Amino acid sequence: MAVRINTLPPRYEDVEHIARGGMGDVYRARDKTLGRTVAIKVLAERYAEDEDVKRRFRNEALAAARLSNAPSTVTIFDVGEGSEQPFIVMEFLEGGSLEHRLRSGPQQIAEALRWLEQAAAALDAGHAAGVVHRDVKPGNLLLDGRGDVHVADFGVASAAGLDSLTVTGTVLGTAGYLAPEQARGERATPASDRYALAVVAWELLTGRRPFESDTPTAEATAHVHAPLPSFSPELDPVFGRALAKDPAARYPTAAAFVADLRRALEPAAAAAGPAPVRRRGILVPLLLVLALALLGGGLAVATLVGGSDEPTQTVVQRQTVTTEGETITTNVTHTVTTQAEPPPPPPPTAAPAPPPSGRSGVQLTDEATSLLDHGRWPEAEALARQAVQKLAGSGQVYEAYAEYNLGRALAEQGKCGDALQHLTRSEQLQGSRPPITQAKELCA
């Protein structure tokens, strides 16, 4: 969709429409004066006819421009008006938004925390400067080429009166992130922004919003009246405070919320139980005995001994093993009954089973998710199996993720019998989700 040529100054060329929102349209263009690619947000015509809205749009844009040097905030280069349509020129970020990332489901915990910390720093800086965002949502959290978050659209929602449900039909797309006071039609405050960030955090970790409903109006109403659903024993106190109905009961800063979230997630990961660590003093002799059994050779002497109901044999084998720069000759003695055939030695090509992973179930799940993203199905299956074993019965949301990862990896390889079992278990734990349905369709 092309923008009217007389809306923007002639310095902006190669204009291309890239997005549309409740406020208006966003375009990518080249600033030929400075030789850089920019993003330009143009106020929709239905608002441009209202002089009061236009004035507030410009004022809010100028206020947001003061934050251009703040951490993790989209830089605003210019604010202007063409053909009676105000516009804002800002830096173009090529990494998309968190809204795009969430289309694939829950995000890795480490990355989600990093994004939340960056968004929190931007919001706290804006609040310190007296600017309230009013429309914190994944679509306004943009990613640069390094995968870092930058907060866009500070204060712009207020310019068009979109910070509450009082403007019919204009805010329903973001009702899922409205603080209760906004849903009641009251003015937004910094506490409202922090509430919305907590909703984003919930969605990044689970793939769903806490009050997700069939209709935007029902969801907005739930923010006002419905009790907060349980997330997990470790995280319920954190989200209980961050999503309190009373703004005064919430965290004093966005950074304080994310810091508590990180602290709560660390013991949650530990609760999955790290695998036992095999100490070197135990493992090395065991491997030496296995190596001797595989290599064979030397002199064997058998003698009958008494002292038990069943005759036994004491077998002494003389074995020679050459290691780096040293040859070791040793006698290995073991006792067996004469009534049972000793088990055959493992075939020469067999290798000892690898020791259990020392990583937690949460860590294994994150790694399996990354492998799935890169299409490495067998490797993802192996890690997901370990994660499922460690998280089984924990009731944590990561148990649902681990079951999904294993089911998806199996389905991608055509192992549908086992795949459907794990996908169904994931659905039981976290409810029906589009990624689960899509994975099941691989086996349809």
List the catalytic residues: 135
CA angle 354, 355, 360 (to 5 degrees): 120
Closest by Cα among 210, 139, 225 to 176: 210
- Side-chain half-sphere of 61: how many Cα atoms within 13 Å? 23
Closest by Cα among 136, 170, 151 to 43: 170
Sequence-distant (6+) residues with CB within 8 A of 346 are 293, 294
Tokens standing for residue 347 = 């075939």
Tokens standing for residue 384 = 């997901």
Pairing of strands 141-143, 149-151: antiparallel
313, with CB counted inside 10 A (0-12, 13-18, 19+), is middle
Round to whole Å and give the CA distance between 156 and 139: 14
